[in-house]
Structure 1
Amino acid sequence: MPCYAIDGVIPVVSPKAYVHPTAVLIGDVIVEEGAYIGPFAALRADFGGIHIHQNANVQDSCIIHGFPNYVTVVEEFGHIGHGAILHGCRIRKNALIGMNSVILDESDIGENTIIGANSTVKAKAHIPANSLALGSPAQVIRALDEKEMAWKSQGTQQYIELTERCIKTMHEVQPLTVNTSNRLTHESFYVNHTLKPKG
């Protein structure tokens, strides 16, 4: 993975985390055990720190950045959807940030909360625990029910399992030139493993 020190500060990545080779880590970044950092994610801690806690995931093309004297945090089981931007904020335990959402400076997303896709949480906003918030600026719509929180936890568990799969089996290859009948497919993986497709 592209990993850079700045001002002598070197990122820290647990050997039990997975960081995709195209993700970029700069400076005061900490990635704990079980965390997943997806393709083309950029974690740039050249002003303030970035701390990704155990079993959290930061998906494809996410951008995380901060400002001086502040640590941008994704707590345990945090789930950051594709293309989201986090800037100098705190994502509490088991919260989900929807795809392409923007979470701005000093905002605080409560435990178990879901921020809907394409939402913007304005600077210094506090979104309470166990809530669903949507829109730009994001507004709390209602409390989450147990079924929704279970759905979120199931999705995060799949990313924890993906971390393990990537550590064990992902490697760069040359593509095949012909699709043959004996080529492994995602269906063959599901048949042979406990991970089940959605739907």
Structure 2
Amino acid sequence: MSLPAPLLLPYGACFPEIDDSAFIAPRATVIGDVVIGPKSSVWFGCTLRGDVNSIRIGARSNIQDGTVIHVTRGGHATHIGDDVLVGHTCIIHACTLESGSFVGMGATVMDGAVVESGAMVAAGALVTPGKRVPRGELWAGNPAKFKRPLSGEEMARFKAQTDHYVRMAESYLAELAKLG
């Protein structure tokens, strides 16, 4: 059986740099100036387009199915730290997701916004340009606003969830290796 591969494309002189331990799912697309760190995962149907600026993803972060990550020319790059959770079908555009942050399914984080370590953007939320979501806070709505503080237990679950995605990515890598 022949498996579809991820689509890795250069843009200009830049070709994606992906750590050997990272999982890039079949049919994910990674273009241009993109660096993906150790044990991170980019799942099915994602598009990461580092054409007019850079995208940097740290270690053990996961970009779930159908998410689009992009940048702005002459403006903001996209920086995603370590142990970051990005839910299914998000739009992450020219912003910063600090290490240990969580962006829920279907959320959009726009240009110049910052989601701090230990902060959470709720599913479906729209974080408008230049906003900062502080550590320990849950933001929700359109436009996203502070809803409530996160409990220590909720914040501890972020790490458990990133650990789960590291294990899932390792499992997928092993399964795909069996198929050749």
TM range (shorter): over 0.9
SS of the counterpart of 2:138? strand
Structure 2 residue 156 is the aligned partner of structure 1 residue 156: no
| Larger CA Rg, structure 1 vs 2 | 1
SS of the counterpart of 1:163? helix
CA-based RMSD of the aligned residues comes to 1.3
Aligned to 1:107: 113
SS of the counterpart of 2:20? coil
In 2, Cα distance between equivalents of 1:156 and 1:140: 24
One-letter code of the match for 1:48? N
Aligned to 2:135: 129
Higher relative contact order (CA 8 A, sep 6+): 2
1:4-153 alignment, distance < 5 Å:
4-69=9-74, 70-153=76-159
Aligned to 1:196: none
SS of the counterpart of 1:33? coil
Unmatched tracts of structure 2, length 5 or more: 1-5
In 2, Cα distance between equivalents of 1:157 and 1:119: 24
Percentage identity across aligned positions?
Answer: 24
Unmatched tracts of structure 1, length 5 or more: 174-199
Aligned to 2:3: none
User: Under a length normalisation based on structure 2, what TM-score does the superposition of the two structures give?
Assistant: 0.92
One-letter code of the match for 1:113? A
User: Under a length normalisation based on structure 1, what TM-score does the superposition of the two structures give?
Assistant: 0.84
